[in-house]
Amino acid sequence: MNAEPGFAPNVLAAECPSRQVLKHLTSQWGVLVLLALQEGTLRFSALRRRVGGVSERMLAQTLQVLEGDGLIRRTAHQVVPPHVDYALTPLGQEAALRVAALTGWIEENLPAFLGTRT
Amino acid sequence: MNAEPGFAPNVLAAECPSRQVLKHLTSQWGVLVLLALQEGTLRFSALRRRVGGVSERMLAQTLQVLEGDGLIRRTAHQVVPPHVDYALTPLGQEAALRVAALTGWIEENLPAFLGTRT
DNA sequence: CGGGATACTTACCAAAATGTAGGCACTTCC
DNA sequence: GGAAGTGCCTACATTTTGGTAAGTATCCCG
């Protein structure tokens, strides 16, 4: 399909916009949120409980960034006790796959890492 | 082999040591260094030129962290104009594969990301 | 012999990331 | 009525990250 960028995206180039996306995706909490949402839609406080150690502030901020990149979809139900849920978009699901591949590999090889440190 | 951890590594848990490894691997410069070294051994200044926008300070720091995690191997040749090269260890190569899968996907889908932002 | 390259380190400083604490508006549960 | 839960936001403080500049020792190039 078309795709005539005039330039090839390259993360090794400082000016490439892909750098920003990379930064968002690989941010401390970005990775974990993607991972948590891979299992299904979650609401704010459930997400907060799922992702160990995240503060409300950082969770809210991270969610906004990821939503801005089109990776997650935020749905607010106008009911009295606020009810909002977050889910991955198709794009987000693809991203989550790659992220999960990385984190899964880390978990599997954790002994190897712990071993290198005496 | 054996593998009776007594606990399952889980990045979603705040106390899990895998969190540290994840942080190193997904750090701004960590990702890019892994990527750059995937193509082959490089020496310090070549690496610096390869990774756009990195400062000497951050490159040196990043290399030390990744070396500490056993992802890269540093080899210093004791010659008068200093000559040091950096290469991926087998563990580092596996990590680089996953990281490259993520960055490659980002580069391919960059138009989709740029599109979400009006 | 001055300038540049090599591979760093250290000191100093600015900027970004992140945590803490409190507020808001309203409901339900006890 | 009072406490807790919901989904945030804002202000303030601290921690981490990252940049700049300079120093080090030695060699090669012109």
For residue B20, what pLDDT is reported?
92
Residue A10 lies in a domain: no
Report the alpha-carbon distance of residue A70 to residue A94 in Å, rounded: 12
Residue A1 CA: distances (Å) to CA of A6, A118, B110: 15, 51, 14
Residue A4 lies in a domain: no
Q: In what order do the strands lie in the sheet with A72-77?
A: A42-43, A83-88, A72-77
Instruction: Give residue A37's domain range.
Output: 18-116
| Nearest nt to the A44 alpha carbon by C1' | D7
For residue A67, what pLDDT is reported?
94
Q: What phi and psi values does residue B106 have, to the nearest 5 degrees?
A: -60, -45
Enumerate the β-bridge partners of residue B75.
B85
Low-confidence ranges of chain A (pLDDT < 70): 1-6, 116-118
Amino acid at A65: V
For residue B79, what pLDDT is reported?
80
B49: CB partners within 8 A, 6+ apart = none
For residue A84, what pLDDT is reported?
93
DSSP secondary structure code for residue A108 in this structure: H
Q: How many CB atoms neighbour CB A39 within 10 A? A: 11
Q: What is the CATH number of the domain that holds B43?
A: 1.10.10.10
Chain B residues lying within 8 Å of A5, measured CB to CB: 111
Total domains, chain B: 1
Rg for chain B, CA atoms, rounded: 17
Which bases of strand C sit closer than 7 A to a protein CB? 5-11, 17-22, 25-28
| Strand C at less than 7 A from CB of A28 | yes
Residue of A nearest to B116 (CA): A70
Residue B79 lies in a domain: yes
Residue B3 lies in a domain: no
Residue B9 lies in a domain: no
Residue A11 lies in a domain: no
Per-residue pLDDT of chain B (118 residues; tens, 9 = 90+): 554 555 688 899 988 999 999 999 999 999 999 999 999 999 999 999 999 899 999 999 999 999 999 999 999 988 877 889 999 999 999 999 999 999 999 999 999 888 766 5
Residue A52 CA: distances (Å) to CA of A6, A36, B16, B65: 43, 10, 10, 24
Residue B100 three-state SS? helix
Residue B93 lies in a domain: yes
Residue A9 lies in a domain: no
Q: Which residue is nearest to nucleotide D17 (CA to C1')?
A: B58
CB contact under 8 A, A18 and B101: no
